[in-house]
Amino acid sequence: MSLSDQHAADLSPETVVVAAGRPERAHDEPVNPPIVLSSTYFGTGSLGDGDRGYGRYANPTWDPFEDALAKLEGATLPGLLYASGLAAVSSALSLVPAGGVVVMPSHSYAGSLVMATELAEKGFLELRTVDITDTDAVKALISPESGKKADLLWLESPTNPMLGIADVRALTDAAHAAGAIVVTDNTFSTPLVQQPLSLGSDVVLHSVTKYLAGHSDVVLGALVTSNPELRATLLHHRIIHGGIAGPFEAWLALRGLRTLALRIERSQASAATLAERLSVHPRVEAIRYPGLATDPGHERAKAQMKGFGSILCIQIAGDEQRGGADAADHLVRALQLWLPATSLGGVESLIERRRRHTAEPLSVPENLVRLSVGIENVEDLWSDLEQALKSLDG
């Protein structure tokens, strides 16, 4: 790649998203990497994990994105792309030894929780879930007074969709003291807002589907680590379990990454404005956004993040029927600009009532609506929310 690690370390992330992952500067060569469509590569010798060899081992189209993401997360080794965020979750959970203990936030991404729960039900691992904002409770599960210590601490901060903030440094230190490795799902924050490796995490996970690709048109995942043994294990898992990225998706993800800094800047600013306004709206019973000074996670978020992200959650005041779910459903249906859809992190603003998913933990309130703020004009977004909230009264 044409941008050295040394040079990237001197540049701001807003520049790295544009400059990383370019081909060598040679006369008449393209400035963007090509898409390589080949399931196999010329070769005659024996084939190892480090060789290109065959299309499940490697594809040159992955390299620029893996290089750029590693630079952004401050890793010394290239990242690893996967077919989806959950393929990356599967690979990360493979780091747990048979029967090992995993400590996970009770409000982790639902798919990660389902996967860990199913592995636990089959006896492959022991799962301990906990309120990740309660540092003492997490520490007690990592190193219980009696019983096994944790092998892996799974971190998500802010959590999805409760937006709880973990003390990443304190929990990482506690996990390492117990001999556990730490995997942090950094999907909500992106490396521009939070760098878990610098807070001590061993592995960072992304659903690239969300902010990194940013246009709701690809499904991809990634892992990043600076630990050579962990990376070798993860790479081997990717080769043997086969959760690999398609070259076209990998190319689209790099193209999306180019505008990440601009998108984050806009969507974070809009999220802050909308949070302030929603927090005083009579139809909003409760709001979660770590950027609000009144939010329980505010101080922690300020200390470990650069900004507060662009996801916010509100609970809609309504009649007691179905815990306010009807009012929340009504709000979502009354919107004309916001798109009623799951997922997050795209250029378009998305909204959904989370408990419409049966896999969502029951501790998520029925009337909780998650807003993924996009890059549209903030006054247009606000007008639409205002008219939809108003329609609840009529």
Ligand X SMILES: *Cc1c(COP(=O)(O)O)cnc(C)c1O
Minimum CB separation of residue 157 from ligand X in Å reads 10
| Per-state percent for the chain, helix, strand, coil, to nearest 5 | 40, 15, 45
Minimum CB separation of residue 381 from ligand X in Å reads 21
Which x/- pattern, by CB under 6 A, does the window 239-278 give for ligand X?
----------------------------------------
What is the distance between the alpha carbons of residues 152 and 115, in angstroms, rounded to a whole number? 15
Using CB atoms within 10 A of its CB, is residue 278 exposed (0-12), middle (13-18) or buried (19+)? buried
Q: Which residue is nearest to ligand X (CB)?
A: 85
Single-letter code of the amino acid located at 18: V
With a CB cutoff of 8 Å and minimum separation 6, the contacts of 229 are: none
Q: Which of 163, 108, 162, 165 is nearest to 134 (CA)?
A: 165
Query: Torsion-angle region of residue 216: left (phi > 0), alpha (psi -120 to 50) or beta?
Result: left
Q: Which of 267, 214, 264 is nearest to 373 (CA)?
A: 267
Interface with ligand X, residue 221, by CB under 6 A: yes
Minimum CB separation of residue 67 from ligand X in Å reads 20
Let me know if 306 is a catalytic residue: no
Catalytic residue chosen out of the listed positions 167, 185, 202, 295:
185
Nearer to ligand X, 84 or 194 (CB): 84
Let me know if 185 is a catalytic residue: yes
Q: Number of residues in contact with ligand X, rule: CB under 6 A?
A: 15
Please give the residues from 276 up to 315 whose contact with ligand X meets the rule CB under 6 A: none
Minimum CB separation of residue 192 from ligand X in Å reads 16
Nearer to ligand X, 3 or 194 (CB): 194
Single-letter code of the amino acid located at 251: W
Let me know if 56 is a catalytic residue: yes
Minimum CB separation of residue 360 from ligand X in Å reads 13
The stretch near ligand X (CB under 6 A) out of 134-142, 146-154, 181-189, 249-257 is 181-189
Catalytic residue chosen out of the listed positions 22, 63, 67, 109:
109
What is the distance between the alpha carbons of residues 312 and 251, in angstroms, rounded to a whole number? 30
Interface with ligand X, residue 160, by CB under 6 A: yes
With a CB cutoff of 8 Å and minimum separation 6, the contacts of 60 are: 33, 34, 36, 52
Report the residue from 172, 187, 225, 304 that binds ligand X according to the rule CB under 6 A. Answer: 187
> What angle (nearest 5°) sits at the alpha carbon of residue 348, between those of residues 346 and 352?
85
Let me know if 384 is a catalytic residue: no
Interface with ligand X, residue 111, by CB under 6 A: yes
Interface with ligand X, residue 164, by CB under 6 A: no
Single-letter code of the amino acid located at 149: K
Interface with ligand X, residue 85, by CB under 6 A: yes
Minimum CB separation of residue 100 from ligand X in Å reads 21
Interface with ligand X, residue 161, by CB under 6 A: no
Report the residue from 107, 210, 237, 288 that binds ligand X according to the rule CB under 6 A. Answer: 210
3-state secondary structure of 133: coil
Minimum CB separation of residue 88 from ligand X in Å reads 8
Interface with ligand X, residue 109, by CB under 6 A: yes
Report the residue from 20, 58, 72, 86 that binds ligand X according to the rule CB under 6 A. Answer: 86
Stated as kind and residue range, the H or E segment containing 224 is strand 221-225
The stretch near ligand X (CB under 6 A) out of 11-19, 115-123, 184-192, 373-381 is 184-192
Q: Report the DSSP pairing between strands 203-207 and 339-340.
A: unpaired
What is the distance between the alpha carbons of residues 152 and 108, in angstroms, rounded to a whole number? 14
Look up residue 56 and give its two tokens. 């499940």
Query: Following DSSP, what letter does each residue of 81-102 receive, concatenated?
Result: EESSHHHHHHHHHTTSPTTEEE
Catalytic residue chosen out of the listed positions 5, 49, 56, 131:
56
Catalytic residue chosen out of the listed positions 71, 128, 210, 370:
210
Stated as kind and residue range, the H or E segment containing 130 is strand 125-130
Q: Which of 385, 285, 386 is nearest to 338 (CA)?
A: 385
Nearer to ligand X, 161 or 324 (CB): 161
Chain contacts with ligand X (rule: CB under 6 A): 84-86, 109, 111-112, 160, 185, 187-188, 207, 209-210, 219, 221
Q: What is the set of active-site residues?
A: 56, 109, 185, 210
